[in-house]
Chain A
Amino acid sequence: MSPVRVLVVEDDPGLQRFLVSCLKKLGYLVVPAATGAEALSLARSHNPDLVLLDLGLPDLDGLEVLKGIRTFSQVPVVILSARNQERVKAEALDAGADDYLTKPFGVVELAARLRVAVRHLLRAGAAGPVVVSGELRVDLDARKVTRRGEEVHLTPLEFRLLAALARRYGKVVTHQQLLAEVWGSGQVEQTQYLHLYMRQLRHKIEDDPKRPRHFRTESGVGYRMEVDPEPVV
């Protein structure tokens, strides 16, 4: 398999250097870009497999670059953003970004996010019919959920919520995306239902709902189903 090509869009030279050397070390082929305009032109000419995009760029808003890329490509885009930018993050995810990383992040986190993005890329976006995460097994086709071999009984809405997260497991799914997918597009403002159903789901699936390991909350943005939760100590 040829190396995965990553377009890295970062205006800060220091962070750019760090990302380039890290990604090279991880075995990626790196195409660096420092401005939004450059990013758009490189995204067209180099046809990257992945895009790492900083939201704060000198010329174009990161969101604009994302929308620009989306007009001609479905390449996975991972957003880099600062803390306190939850609204922008959610906006970027709703506009077609695949995931995000909040600065400061470590190389482990970066590698994990890119791995998830690559995995989804290889499966062309569709998760297999069975998602296994620790002691949890979700069979999307048979609509069956088991925990340590025991079947967990979920209501249809709870299953739809679980399925929406499992189909994109490892990636963050925004409140809006979950609401539209589980309740329908007319309900995207009703986040309180989402919080309540998420709580019910955790009470049925998590060992300790106050310390969730399978379904992580990304405050102000959405939820993420963990790929390989650390085993309970």
Chain B
Amino acid sequence: MALDAAIGLAAASLCTLVGWLFRGRGDLSFYIMIFLVGSVLTALWRGRLAATVAAVAGMVAFDYFFETPAFELSVADWPNFLVFTGFLAIALLVGSLVHRLRGQTRQAQLRERETAALYALAGILSAQASSEDLRRVAERTLSEVLKVPVRILPADDPREGTLPLRGGGGPLGALWVDGPAPPRSFLEACGRQVALAMERALLAEAAERAHTKAELEQTRSTLLSAISHDFRTPLSTIHAAAATLAQEIPVAGSPELSDLARLIVDESSRLDHLVGNLLDMMRLEAGGLSPALELQPLEEVVGTVLTRLEPLLGPISVDLPDDLPPLPLDSVLLEQLLTNLLENAFRHGGGPVCLGARARDGELVVDVADSGRGVPELLRERVFEKFYRPPGTRADGGAGLGLAICRAIVKVHGGRIWVEEVPGGGAAFRFTLPLESAP
């Protein structure tokens, strides 16, 4: 401001000096022209304020130094007064026009710079492979272009005064300018570029992830079928051959050898059980398991399990109301679930073991209760974790997968599983199954 005014004054002084050098050699219009040129140049260089100061000061100087009578601030007659007024009006007008022209030129230059900056930004952004690189590079480039620190915040950042970045799929983040805000339209244009590039990078990353996942699934299923065939076939052969030996040897009359043969049978069957559990876990974890739900009575599955397990484990008391409605379930999976729970009850809990069920609030609640030590409260969540074995478990136990498999099976049926304390001692593993199929 002050500088512009001083320059205006200096311009008027310079014009006066130039006029003074040519003193007496020209008429009034000659000196007027000098002042007019001076004030237009000032307008071009410094804008409206300087030009106005130059014009007003120039008029005063002209009156004082060049208009007769010289060295006094008076106007001799009407024509001279018109000349003064005309000079002032033209000087101000030209100053204003020049000022506006200058503004437009500057605008055009700015816009050109902005466009160039946007192009450069788009180029830099599209070269970024990951969304994380992109975010960092966009922050740096925008800070350089806008000359204030710019940050890209996550979409859920609660800060006010941010510019949201939106993509076709929803909010991607927000631009936050730490300082005087640059022109809104330019900032928005930058924001659009960043949003576009971010969306592209995110989509590319999602595609990459999907690809990796598909490859992983492929590997997993190859491994799965390899293990199930290549591991289990020899195992089942060992088991069957040993079982035949165990049957035949007593006939030959050698109890020690018979014991050894039984040992091979038991251990190979344990190993087969472990491999089986591992495979089931992998299958359930792969998420590819969709239960084959069929509307059927629970009694049938319970019947299959009891027929198979009671000769091996001992008597199981059953409390199954006759009026239980049929419900959607995968009998193979449910059989495995009940088998795991009952085997656990005998192995870790101890008899008597009860299996009960009742319908309640649109679901069936099934429980397997033992009369053992129960499960300490702290471990009631952990026992369902993969590979978790409670402290003090005998070494001939499983790999800690049984209950994890149970939880996965209940989950694919849309139910819940948990463990409770039985009043009077013991653990009750309870699970629910919806009575209606999920829509």
Contacts and interface: CB of A to CB of B under 8 A. Distances in A.
Interface of A: 12, 14-15, 17-18, 22, 56, 82-84, 86-87, 103-108, 110, 191-192, 195-196, 198-199, 202, 209-213, 216-217, 219-220
A14 B243 contact: no
A219 B232 contact: no
Given A104-B232, A104-B235, A210 B283 contact: no
B244 A107 contact: yes
A8 to B, nearest CB: 13
Given A12-B234, A12-B237, A104-B236, A217 B244 contact: no
Interface string B230-253: 001111110111011001000000
A12 B247 CA distance: 24
A14 B318 CA distance: 42
Q: What does DSSP make chain B's interface, helix, strand, loop or mixed? A: helix
A15 B320 contact: no
A73 to B, nearest CB: 27
A195 B236 contact: no
B272 A104 contact: yes
B331 A196 contact: no
A22 B236 CA distance: 14
Contacts of B306: 210-211
B233 A196 contact: no
Given A84-B280, A217-B304, 20 more contacts: A12-B234, A12-B237, A15-B237, A17-B237, A22-B240, A22-B244, A56-B229, A82-B229, A84-B279, A103-B232, A103-B233, A104-B272, A105-B236, A110-B240, A195-B295, A210-B302, A210-B320, A211-B307, A217-B303, A220-B332
Nearest to B244: A107
15 contacts: A14-B233, A15-B233, A83-B276, A84-B228, A104-B240, A106-B244, A107-B247, A192-B326, A199-B300, A210-B318, A211-B306, A216-B304, A217-B303, A219-B332, A219-B335
Nearest to A175: B294
A214 to B, nearest CB: 11
A106 B243 contact: yes
Given A103-B233, A106-B240, A220 B326 contact: no
B331 A220 contact: yes
A86 B291 CA distance: 12
Given A82-B229, A103-B233, A211-B306, A195 B240 contact: no
B300 to A, nearest CB: 5
Contacts of A82: 228-229, 232
A113 to B, nearest CB: 13
Most buried by B among A22, A104, A216: A104
Contacts of B237: 12, 14-15, 17-18
Contacts of B307: 211-213, 216
A195 B296 contact: yes
B317 to A, nearest CB: 11
Contacts of A103: 232-233, 236
B310 interface: yes
Nearest to A194: B296
Contact of A211 (B234, B279, B294, B303): B303
